[in-house]
Structure 1
């Protein structure tokens, strides 16, 4: 039985509606899948960029921290150098004050005479000749050693008489102790500088070897030997020092 035109049209409409419905469902499925893939890719890109940003700022933070440590180290070094300079300046001022006070030593004739005795007779091993003694006391085993038969002593112009008395007093004691002669000459052509507070300089026979026993040189030597003790007395013990030798 043949279909009428109306039935054909009806079936065609029904098929078209079915196809359209299938197409809409397929389009929705495609849209949903595309949306899902978009969200996944968007999340991946966001996470990747977030990690890059975090890495960038972590690197920046490390750089800033490193710069901070370097700056702190530089500031600490500068502060340490300032402290050391301030300490050295204080010690220099103390030594300068001590040098200024040296002039008072020679103002006491009796005390200065005793000091000259010790300076004239002091042992000078490091220069290869000895014209002196170390404490004439049995418990200290004092001794004389002589390698130079002639010496020249230079002093301040105003100390010539005191030095002559010192030589007259001590040379006989020296000769009796070492059983040897010693010729001592005071250089009255070349006196010590007026800036010297006192003391003497001793030369061997040919003048090539000198012992400086001025008050200033003795102060410098004493300061050098006692510098560790001076620093401890002024600034306290160094907590970072492991060895005391």
Structure 2
């Protein structure tokens, strides 16, 4: 039985409706999948950017912490250096005051003669030379002349040797020198500096650690005192 035009049109419409429904369902499925993929990609991108931001601020925080530590260390070192400089300046002031007081020794002639005698004998025992030139301050000539014989006797008693002493009458120690002598042998090739200042420097180099402890106490962090 042949279909009428109306039946054909009806079937065509039915097929078109079915195709349209299938297309709509497929479109909805595609939209849903696209939405899902979009959300996943968006979440991935957001998470990625969040991690980048977190890493950026972590680096910044570490940099700030590092700069703070460096600054703190620098300030601490500067404070330590200032404290050390203050201590060294104070110790130096103590030594300078000791130098100024050296001049007091020469005012007591008898005591100064005894000091000069010991300085000369000590220098001679270091040289152990037969001929020695003594260089002194110009104003100490009378003091030295008074003790020359006693010095040679003391030297011979200790060393068993004779020595010919000559006072340099052409060249003198600086007038600013507190006192003491220079001893020269072998035409000036050998020299012993036994001025009061040189003796003070020698003693100071040995006693500075003890002076520091006396003035500021022992440093608990210092392993060695020199």
TM-score (norm 2): 0.83
Report the equivalent of 1:208: 189
Shift of 1:178: 4.0
1:191 maps onto 2:172 in alignment: yes
Change (3 A) 1:176 1:36: closer
CA distance in 1, matches of 2:77, 2:189: 46
Report the equivalent of 1:136: none
Change (3 A) 1:173 1:19: closer
Indicate which of 120, 142, 150 corresponds to 1:161: 142
RMSD, aligned CA: 2.7
1:240 maps onto 2:221 in alignment: yes
1:180 maps onto 2:161 in alignment: yes
Change (3 A) 1:14 1:173: closer
Report the equivalent of 1:49: 49
The residue matched to 1:122 in structure 2 has which SS? helix
Question: Pairwise mapping of residues 52-201 of structure 1 onto structure 2 (< 5 A)?
Answer: 52-122=52-122, 129=127, 147-201=128-182
Report the equivalent of 1:32: 32
TM-score (norm 1): 0.77
Q: 1:201·1:212 contact (CA, 8 Å) conserved in 2?
A: yes
CA distance in 2, matches of 1:46, 1:14: 47
For structure 1, list consecutive stretches of 5 or more residues without a partner in the other structure.
Answer: 130-146
Change (3 A) 1:85 1:41: same
Q: 1:152·1:205 contact (CA, 8 Å) conserved in 2?
A: no
The residue matched to 1:201 in structure 2 has which SS? strand
Q: 1:202·1:212 contact (CA, 8 Å) conserved in 2?
A: yes
Shift of 1:190: 2.2
For structure 2, list consecutive stretches of 5 or more residues without a partner in the other structure.
Answer: none
Report the equivalent of 1:144: none
